[in-house]
């Protein structure tokens, strides 16, 4: 394959990676306060005038899709479903050609009410975050008593055809790390695809401690005590999750049931990363762990053409580092927390 250049109409970097998966943060605000993400009192939210309007988001997604080779768009946050324009933004993106595949990462609150409208607007899939099956634990973990709403949201997503419904779980030592097999049982029973995510140093409180993190190896050991995990014959590609077939179980589509582990810290997949990120205030981040950003909002509001914006975006991605370097002694946690970057 010939070398990809920054000017080739794609989002390439110096290491030969091409970003085709765009993560758009629709808001930095949230209706939960997960302990690994935000402090109880919340954060200093972005001022309204700094947030991209719905039309500005749609324009930037269009540039990414029509000029820069983006094929997949994931809406996230903060909590994306609390943005009033979410359904309209998805509807406008569904009109783009080539039509991007679209998904939402949500805590599931509000999904019961919105799943049908999201599907009608053109959403393909959802990822719902759920770390525990115990409503009391959920209350401790998220500081809100909303477990039932998340369960109802999951069911509504499946009923609306936002499939496969994926569930994201973060395990924390002494909090919910005993629940891995139960979470798998729940997901298998409902036809959801479960992925465990290693906890990352992206919390606003900077309280992440590697020695306390539940590692991918530990998660797998805990699962293997209850299930036989077979290597997944399907190629991983740029997907962050390593997946296994759960022997003896069938997915709702009749194929084998799977479980995944996203070992962002201990099994980094930076070499295959295909992500580019747009924050709710119009900054491009070439990595979740980048310490700098490229401002597209200023260009947009200063009258830049689509071509100029596309060039800026390409320049931002060209500068992407080879890896996140969490294991490097000089690693610096990014100033913005996950909720403001868009997880």
Residues 182, 226: Cα–Cα separation, whole Å = 9
The 15-54 site mask, x for binding ligand SF4 (CB under 6 A), equals ---------------x-xxx--xx----------------
Q: Which does 317 bind (CB under 5 to 8 A by kind): ligand SF4, ligand SAM, none?
A: none
Residue whose structure tokens are 């999750």: 241
Cβ contact 318:6 at 8 Å: yes
Using CB atoms within 10 Å of the CB of residue 105, give its burial: 0 to 12 exposed, 13 to 18 middle, 19+ buried: buried
Q: Which does 265 bind (CB under 5 to 8 A by kind): ligand SAM, ligand SF4, none?
A: none
Q: Which does 170 bind (CB under 5 to 8 A by kind): ligand SF4, ligand SAM, none?
A: ligand SAM
CB of 263 to ligand SF4, least distance (A): 18
Residue 298 is inside which H or E element, if any? helix 297-301
Residues 336, 333: Cα–Cα separation, whole Å = 8
Residues 265, 283: Cα–Cα separation, whole Å = 24
Cβ contact 320:15 at 8 Å: yes
Q: Give the other-Cβ count within 10 Å of 33's Cβ.
A: 17
Residue placing its CB nearer to ligand SAM in the complex, 46 or 63 = 46
CB of 169 to ligand SAM, least distance (A): 8
Binding residues among 112-171 for ligand SF4 as defined by CB under 6 A:
129
Rule CB under 6 A: is residue 288 a binding residue for ligand SF4?
A: no
Comparing CA positions, the residue from 119, 173, 115, 163 lying closest to residue 141 is 173
Binding residues among 69-108 for ligand SF4 as defined by CB under 6 A:
77-79, 107
Cβ contact 149:128 at 8 Å: no
CB of 39 to ligand SAM, least distance (A): 13
Cβ contact 32:147 at 8 Å: no
Q: Which does 33 bind (CB under 5 to 8 A by kind): ligand SF4, ligand SAM, none?
A: ligand SF4
Q: Which does 175 bind (CB under 5 to 8 A by kind): ligand SAM, ligand SF4, none?
A: none
Beta strands in 152-289 (DSSP E): 166-170, 193-197, 229-231, 242-250, 256-262, 275-278, 283-285
Q: Give the other-Cβ count within 10 Å of 56's Cβ.
A: 15
CB of 21 to ligand SAM, least distance (A): 15
Cβ contact 169:195 at 8 Å: yes
Q: Which does 38 bind (CB under 5 to 8 A by kind): ligand SAM, ligand SF4, none?
A: ligand SF4
Residues 175, 126: Cα–Cα separation, whole Å = 26
Q: Which does 202 bind (CB under 5 to 8 A by kind): ligand SF4, ligand SAM, none?
A: ligand SAM
Residues 132, 126: Cα–Cα separation, whole Å = 18
Q: How many residues bind ligand SF4 (CB under 6 A)?
A: 12
CB of 38 to ligand SF4, least distance (A): 5
Count of all residues that appear for the chain in the document: 343
CB of 104 to ligand SF4, least distance (A): 12
Q: Which does 200 bind (CB under 5 to 8 A by kind): ligand SF4, ligand SAM, none?
A: ligand SAM
Binding-site ranges for ligand SAM (CB under 6 A): 30, 36-37, 76-77, 79, 105-107, 129, 168, 170, 197, 199-200, 202-203, 338-339, 343
Residue placing its CB nearer to ligand SF4 in the complex, 51 or 92 = 51
| Residues of the shown chain interacting with ligand SF4 in the complex, contacts defined by CB under 6 A | 30, 32-34, 37-38, 77-79, 107, 129, 339
């Amino acid at each position: 394959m010939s070398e990809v250049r920054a000017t080739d109409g794609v989002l390439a970097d110096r290491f030969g990676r091409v970003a085709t998966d765009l993560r758009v943060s629709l808001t930095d605000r949230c209706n939960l306060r997960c302990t690994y993400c935000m402090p109880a009192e919340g954060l200093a939210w972005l001022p309204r005038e700094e947030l991209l309007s719905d039309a500005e988001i749609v324009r930037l997604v269009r540039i990414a899709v029509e000029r820069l080779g983006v094929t997949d768009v994931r809406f996230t946050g903060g909590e994306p479903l609390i943005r009033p324009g979410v359904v309209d933004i998805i509807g406008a993106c569904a009109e783009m050609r080539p039509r991007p595949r679209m998904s939402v990462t949500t805590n599931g609150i509000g999904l019961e009410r919105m799943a049908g409208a999201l599907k009608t607007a053109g959403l393909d899939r959802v990822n719902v975050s759920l770390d525990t099956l115990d409503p009391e634990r959920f209350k401790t973990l998220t500081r809100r008593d909303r477990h039932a709403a998340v369960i109802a949201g999951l069911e509504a997503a499946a009923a609306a055809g936002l499939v496969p419904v994926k569930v994201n779980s973060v395990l924390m030592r002494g909090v919910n790390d005993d629940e891995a097999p139960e979470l798998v049982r729940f997901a298998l029973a409902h036809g959801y695809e479960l992925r465990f995510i290693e906890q990352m140093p992206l919390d606003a409180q900077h309280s992440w401690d590697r020695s306390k993190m539940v590692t991918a190896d530990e998660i797998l050991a805990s699962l293997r005590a209850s299930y036989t995990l077979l290597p997944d014959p399907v190629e991983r590609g740029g997907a962050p999750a390593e997946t296994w077939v759960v022997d003896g179980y069938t997915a709702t589509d009749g194929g084998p049931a799977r479980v995944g582990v996203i070992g962002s810290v201990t099994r980094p997949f930076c070499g295959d990363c295909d992500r580019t990120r747009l924050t709710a205030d119009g900054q491009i981040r070439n990595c979740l762990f980048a310490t700098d950003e490229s401002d597209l909002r200023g260009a947009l509001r200063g009258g830049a053409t689509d071509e100029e914006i596309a060039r800026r975006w390409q320049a931002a991605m060209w500068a992407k580092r080879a890896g996140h370097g969490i294991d490097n002694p000089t690693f610096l946690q990014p100033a913005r927390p996950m909720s403001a970057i868009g997880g």
